[in-house]
Amino acid sequence: MDGGVSGEGHLDAHCVWIIDGGPHVPHRLPPGEPSCVIAVDRGLAHTLRLGLRPHVVVGDFDSVDPAMLQTTREQWPDLVVRRHDRHKAHSDLDLALSFAWGLDPAEIALAGGGGGRLDHMMTSVTMLARPRYAALPLTAYIGASVVRAATAGMDMRLPVDDGNLLTLLAVGGAASMHTRGLRWNLSATTPLASAASLGLSNELIEPEAHVRVQAGTVLAIQTHGTPLP
Reported as a single tens digit per residue, the pLDDT across 137-188 is 999 999 999 999 999 999 999 999 999 999 999 998 999 999 999 999 999 8
* pTM (predicted TM-score): 0.90
Average pLDDT over residues 84-93: 87
Give the C-alpha separation, 27 to 114, whole Å: 9
Query: In the predicted model, is pLDDT for residue 50 greater than 70?
Result: yes
DSSP state of 172: S
DSSP state of 199: T
Query: In the predicted model, is pLDDT for residue 193 greater than 80?
Result: yes
Average pLDDT over residues 103-122: 91
Label residues 105-129 b or e (16+ Cβ within 10 Å = b). Answer: bebbbbbbbbeeeeeebeebbbbbb
Q: Are 183 and 132 in contact (CB under 8 A)?
A: no
